[in-house]
Amino acid sequence: MTRTAIVTGGARGIGAATARRLAADGHAVAVVDLLEEHAAETVASITDEGGRALAIGADVSDADVVAAAVARVADELGAPTILVNNAGILRDNLLFKMSDGDWDAVMQVHLRGAFLMTRAVQAHQVEAKWGRIVNLSSTSALGNRGQANYAAAKAGLQGFTKTLAIELGRYGITANAVAPGFIATDMLRQTAERMSITFEQLLEGAAKEIPVGRVGQPEDVAAAVAYFCSEAASFVSGQVLYVAGGPKA
């Protein structure tokens, strides 16, 4: 069945791959990102393949902007019943060097952003008596040096997910989290810079530590998200699926 999906942070990386995958699965997809022109690139790749998509520029941490964005999706694509909270940023630093701003920025995008988007979208899902919510967590939720802010936010998203599953299950809505390990996206270019190594060196080093012998690609994560969004996954809720090429972070 065709549904309307919203993917935040869909301009690039995991979000772009997820938007393309959900479109390929037959859904209309709203691609939300900070800049509409960046989201438009993902939209073009979907419409070129015959899919239906809409680019929306919105900061997920701004309540008014989020409400307007979700209303626009409902008007132009139809009531959104699939939500993928994927938008994210890194502000890595060791705790003793982490600024208030680094802490707050990460909480704003990951936690407040997921909260605001979900609160706005659940109204449509409850009305439809069907919904899928997928939150992007991370193996960093288990703890990662230099990421006190990000690890706290990603662990927080797991608690958020489980609570959504409990509150919304009676309305035919499931909520799950996908927790990727090392996925080759622009986000990790910043990590390479912080470590003063090239992106290629970072990928090579990471692949050696991963049981399947390679780093992840955005499409690996998109496939897991697509499963949780499927009709077949209606009895799977409140789960965290680690997509990391092995059992550990």
- Positive or negative: CA dihedral 200, 41, 66, 229: negative
The two three-digit tokens of residue 173, written as one number: 């809505």
40-73 burial code (b ≥16 CB/10 A, e <16): bebbebbeeeebbbbbbbbbbbeeebbeebbeeb
Q: Which stretch binds ligand NAP (CB under 6 A): 9-17, 71-79, 119-127, 205-213?
A: 9-17
Q: Which stretch binds ligand NAP (CB under 6 A): 58-66, 74-82, 92-100, 162-170?
A: 58-66
Give which of 239, 235, 222, 226 is closest to 176, Cα–Cα: 239
171 included as an active-site residue: no
Q: Are 192 and 146 in contact (CB under 8 A)?
A: no
Residues paired with 134 in a beta bridge: 84, 176
Of residues 115 and 182, the one with the C-beta less far from ligand NAP: 182
Residues paired with 179 in a beta bridge: 242
DSSP 3-state of 12 = coil
Q: Are 157 and 111 in contact (CB under 8 A)?
A: yes
Q: Within 83-142, which residues bind ligand NAP (CB under 6 A)?
A: 86-89, 109, 113, 136, 138
Q: Are 74 and 66 in contact (CB under 8 A)?
A: no
Of residues 188 and 226, the one with the C-beta less far from ligand NAP: 188
| Least separation in angstroms between CB 181 and ligand NAP | 6
| Least separation in angstroms between CB 182 and ligand NAP | 5
| Least separation in angstroms between CB 60 and ligand NAP | 4
Task: Give yes or no for residue 37 binding ligand NAP (CB under 6 A).
Answer: no
Task: Give yes or no for residue 146 binding ligand NAP (CB under 6 A).
Answer: no
CA-to-CA distance for 166 and 28, rounded, in angstroms? 27
Task: Give yes or no for residue 180 binding ligand NAP (CB under 6 A).
Answer: yes
Residue of the chain from 130, 160, 182, 228 that contacts ligand NAP (CB under 6 A): 182
Q: Are 117 and 86 in contact (CB under 8 A)?
A: no
Q: Which residue has the tokens 């419409």?
A: 47
Residue of the chain from 5, 46, 59, 102 that contacts ligand NAP (CB under 6 A): 59
Give which of 127, 120, 135, 141 is closest to 174, Cα–Cα: 135
Residue of the chain from 121, 188, 224, 229 that contacts ligand NAP (CB under 6 A): 188
Of residues 79 and 142, the one with the C-beta less far from ligand NAP: 142
Q: Which stretch binds ligand NAP (CB under 6 A): 56-64, 76-84, 118-126, 168-176?
A: 56-64
Residues in the interface with ligand NAP (CB under 6 A) total: 29
Task: Give yes or no for residue 38 binding ligand NAP (CB under 6 A).
Answer: yes
Active site residues: 150
Name the site residues for ligand NAP (rule: CB under 6 A). Answer: 8-9, 11-15, 33-35, 38, 59-61, 86-89, 109, 113, 136, 138, 180, 182-183, 185-188
